[in-house]
Structure 1
């Protein structure tokens, strides 16, 4: 991609220069050979990732080879399962809890964590269907008790819902009948095709479904705000380039690209 093509992304030349500077000062730039960086990222950061990777590649000449999977769980395409099978990656991007588990298991280098963005859990229904109230804890509880079917992720957000929030609200018994834990696809896809009445997942994974109405985030009293973070895989072949990429994804220069994807970028100026 030629630099002038950045204008097709709605970027000014000034912002492009900031992006380029973020890459070149992050470490690992300027080598004689372009790197092929293998990355696997979880769903919550996917939309931001898809916007940022072409910019990074154009600014550095490096190539990013991408894969996608859930932060936690034993689904065949989850990040832990793929690493356990011996699939080779240089960088992982996933929930903070998932990353720390990989550090403890020896699959991710200790001290390599770089926080990229914060994420909240939201809910959505299919367009044209009633929009239930989740604006307060009591309203959320009533909505969960009255819903005929509730879909939630098999990854970080769904684990929080099923193991902490549902029991706390006293709706766990009801959700044994009406709840559905979704493996290997986004909750929004299940709700969009009518297989669930109500769906919960990270905001950044729901808002891109045009077939859905996003009804809001969980009340702050019961909200789970997660960091999504990058870490270097033990034995990474392109360690320096992967570290450079992670710093770029966390930089203030890209914050206003990350924010519209439903995430709170850690690099944002406050």
Structure 2
């Protein structure tokens, strides 16, 4: 309610513009959520989300650690909750955990501190069917080709695994036209949920994103010849209100103490 007042007064010369601008900024600052000042705001993309939930809770229980305000958003894509879009809007975020290549782009854009980047885990692509349905063989490239062709409908994500499937894997298998005619890329919503709701008979995404979803059976990971390993990494956002705590949190995520939780989530803890 204060901003219209300040804007209207800009036209009056008797009040210095600098004073008006400062007052306007104070009014905006007063609307900032209180948790931004007393918590570490960390945003994770889906592939690391399950490990993130557990480890954020564990970290906050440590002596002198700030509580962690856990938030989630895709590493890429066109949805408003995608991490790059949120940073572009100027959201107050201390730590981002996301697909390594997407993080590298944020570093190149000058949004994230390159010196704080730590690779946390490697992620493998798996495929699933609705719970109780026959599970296709995925042990060889030819078996994967058959699985895609036999499925009446197919879903893949709009993040790293889905981009690989849509722009590389289907073409390598020689089935791009056939599968795209009956398949779709899913924005934001986990592919496992689409499969569980039987909106798709076959879906592929990072194993760590499929694993928490009820109502599906994971048929297996793509074979080595077709697999696309995606690293997940963390870094501190430039301008973080808590840079030292943010660095400490990332080191905790990458520690040996955290490796078991990372592995349970379906990821492979990164080995330097």
TM-score class, shorter: 0.7 to 0.9
Q: TM-score, normalised by structure 1?
A: 0.84
Q: Which segment is superposed worse, 187-196 or 72-81? A: 72-81
Cα distance in 1 between the residues matched to 2:271 and 2:260: 9
Deviation at 1:35, TM superposition (A): 5.1
Please give the per-residue CA displacement for 1:211-247, whole angstroms capped at 9, x wherever unaligned.
1111100010110111100011111111110010000
> Does the 8 Å CA contact 1:70/1:78 hold for their aligned counterparts?
yes
Cα distance in 1 between the residues matched to 2:94 and 2:169: 34
The answer for unaligned runs of 5 or more in structure 2 is 1-36
> Does the 8 Å CA contact 1:252/1:267 hold for their aligned counterparts?
no
Residue 122 (structure 1) aligns with: 126
Residue 149 (structure 1) aligns with: 153
CA change 1:229–1:47 in 2 (3 A) is same
Which of the residues 208, 214, 218 maps onto 2:212? 208
Deviation at 1:267, TM superposition (A): 5.8
Q: How many residues align?
A: 235
Structure 1 segments of 4 or more deviating over 3 A?
none
Please give the per-residue CA displacement for 1:8-54, whole angstroms capped at 9, x wherever unaligned.
xxxxxxxxxxxxxxxxxxxxxxxxxx952111100010100111111
Q: Which segment is superposed worse, 102-111 or 117-126? A: 102-111
Query: RMSD value over aligned CA atoms?
Result: 1.4
Residue 266 (structure 1) aligns with: 270
The answer for unaligned runs of 5 or more in structure 1 is 1-33
Q: After superposition, where does 1:60-75 map in structure 2 within 5 Å? A: 60=63, 61-75=65-79
Please give the per-residue CA displacement for 1:113-165, whole angstroms capped at 9, x wherever unaligned.
10111110001111121211211100101111221111111011101111111
Q: Is structure 2 residue 64 aligned with structure 1 residue 51?
A: no
Q: Is structure 2 residue 268 aligned with structure 1 residue 253?
A: no
Whose Rg is larger?
Answer: 2
Cα distance in 1 between the residues matched to 2:38 and 2:185: 38
Cα distance in 1 between the residues matched to 2:221 and 2:155: 15
Deviation at 1:181, TM superposition (A): 0.7
Cα distance in 1 between the residues matched to 2:117 and 2:253: 13
Deviation at 1:166, TM superposition (A): 1.0
Q: After superposition, where does 1:58-137 map in structure 2 within 5 Å? A: 58-60=61-63, 61-137=65-141
Residue 219 (structure 1) aligns with: 223
SS in structure 2 opposite 1:221?
Answer: coil
Cα distance in 2 between the residues matched to 1:128 and 1:157: 24
Cα distance in 2 between the residues matched to 1:38 and 1:207: 25
Q: Is structure 2 residue 55 aligned with structure 1 residue 41?
A: no
Q: After superposition, where does 1:157-236 map in structure 2 within 5 Å? A: 157-236=161-240
Cα distance in 2 between the residues matched to 1:167 and 1:239: 44
SS in structure 2 opposite 1:180?
Answer: strand
Cα distance in 2 between the residues matched to 1:74 and 1:87: 17
